[in-house]
Amino acid sequence: MYMLGLAFVFFFTWSARRTNAATTSSIATPHNITDNVLKLNVHDYRAKSLRKRQPPQQAEDDLFFRDSMYTVPVRVGDQDLNLEINMGSLETWVATPYFFCVDKERVQIPQDACRIGPYYEPSPELAKELLTREGGEWSEIVYASGSFVNGKVFEKQIGIGGVSRGSPYWIKELKIGMPNEGHWTGNGIASGVLGLAMPRQPDRPSILGALFKDENIPAVLSLALAHPDSESEPRGGGVIGFGGIPNILTDDNWDSTPIKPPPMTRLGSTIIPIMGFHIMPDPGDRSELPLTSSEVFTPLLIFSHNMAVDSTTSVIRVPHKVAKYTALLFRTPLKLDPATGLYRVSCEGFAPRFGIRINEKTFFIPTSDLRKRISSFGPDECALMIQPSERNDLTLGTPFLRNVLAVFDYSGIRNGKQHGVLQVVGRRKRTD
* Residues present in the chain in total: 432
Residue 165: pLDDT band with limits 50, 70, 90: very low
The contacts found for 94-97 with CB under 8 angstroms, 24 or more apart, are 94/4, 94/120, 94/176, 94/177, 94/178, 94/191, 94/192, 95/119, 95/120, 95/178, 95/179, 95/182, 95/191, 95/192, 96/120, 96/121, 96/122, 96/127, 96/130, 96/178, 97/121
Cβ-contact 217, 31 below 8 angstroms: no
Cα separation of 44 and 67, whole Å? 6
Domains of the chain and CATH, by start? 2-242 (2.40.70.10), 250-427 (2.40.70.10)
Is the alpha carbon torsion for 110, 341, 49, 73 positive or negative?
Answer: negative
What's the average model confidence in pLDDT over 232-248? 78
Residue 132: pLDDT band with limits 50, 70, 90: confident
Residue 162: pLDDT band with limits 50, 70, 90: very low
pLDDT in tens, 316-370: 999 998 999 899 888 777 888 887 788 999 898 889 999 999 999 999 999 989 9
At 67 the pLDDT is 62
At 107 the pLDDT is 94
Cβ-contact 393, 308 below 8 angstroms: yes
pLDDT in tens, 250-282: 988 999 999 988 776 666 688 999 999 999 888
pLDDT in tens, 76-108: 777 788 889 998 888 889 999 999 999 999 999
pLDDT in tens, 18-73: 433 333 333 345 668 888 888 888 876 544 333 333 443 343 344 344 567 898 88
At 117 the pLDDT is 93
Residue 156: pLDDT band with limits 50, 70, 90: low
Residue 168 has pLDDT above 80, yes or no: no
Cβ-contact 308, 265 below 8 angstroms: no
At 408 the pLDDT is 94
At 180 the pLDDT is 92
- Residue 222 β-bridge partners: 241, 407
The 3-state DSSP class for residue 391 equals coil
**Cis status, amide bond into 234, omega within 30 of 0:** yes
Higher pLDDT: 161 or 156? It is 156
Residue 247 has pLDDT above 70, yes or no: yes
Cβ-contact 254, 51 below 8 angstroms: no
Residue 373: pLDDT band with limits 50, 70, 90: confident
Tell me the average pLDDT of the chain. 77
What's the average model confidence in pLDDT over 300-307? 79
Greatest mean pLDDT among 52-66, 113-127, 415-429 lies in: 113-127
Q: Which of 12-16, 65-69, 112-116, 173-177 has the lowest mean pLDDT?
A: 12-16
At 341 the pLDDT is 81
What's the average model confidence in pLDDT over 295-308? 69
> Which percentage of the chain shows pLDDT scores above 70?
72
Residue 228: pLDDT band with limits 50, 70, 90: confident
* Pairing of β 170-183 and β 100-101: parallel
Residue 9: pLDDT band with limits 50, 70, 90: low
At 267 the pLDDT is 64
The 3-state DSSP class for residue 51 equals helix
H or E element, residue 31: none
pTM: 0.84
* Pairing of β 93-94 and β 148-160: unpaired
